[in-house]
Amino acid sequence: MKLSKWLGIKKGQMEETIWSPLSGKVLKLADVPDPVFSSMPPECGIAIDPAAGRVLSPIDGEVVAMLPSKHAVVIRSDSGVELIIHIGLDTVSMKGEGFHAFVRNGDRVTAGQPLIDFSPDLVMRKATSTITPVFIMNPEVVDWLDIQIPDLAQAGITPLMKFRLKRY
């Protein structure tokens, strides 16, 4: 039984935290040098210019999509929020080269668990950028979202977003 159910807390009443999946410089989505990401609503997420090539799970949940190229992963939190981590820009063209996934579709993950290792040097040579957007894919389920934009984030330690779900 989930703790929230045991305590009698209804959906939308409990605040949840999304932790930084990478160490590095934190950016607003509007500052991502790619129109696909920079034109997204700013309240959907952030981006990180990574200092290292290890991606950690930012939240407890389930891997619902590990792309075959391993450059992106979608995690559905236990509360139903879907979060995507898209490593670098134009990295789909790398077809998985330089990426190693530790998880597969359907795997249960906990915050701080390694998801993917990648080579930042190879990404810089073969793609546009290492900048990694991290955003909520289903913002319509979120009632309240507080985005943190510190100068630097530490993977698994720095909180980036806090949210509450809508009440149904």
Report d(CA 38, CA 17) in Å as an integer: 23
Q: Pairing state of beta strands 61-66 and 72-77? A: antiparallel
What are the angstrom distances between the C-alpha of 62 and each of 12, 111, 124, 163? 20, 11, 29, 18
The identity of residue 34, as a single letter, is D
The SS3 of residue 80 is coil
Q: Which of 86, 103, 109, 153 is catalytic?
A: 86
Residue 15 tokens, joined: 């605040």
Residue 86 is among the residues annotated as catalytic for this protein: yes
The SS3 of residue 115 is strand
Residue 59, judged by CB atoms within 10 A of its CB (0-12, 13-18, 19+), counts as: buried
Q: Where would I find the H helices in 85-136?
A: 120-126
Q: What are the residue numbers of the active site?
A: 86
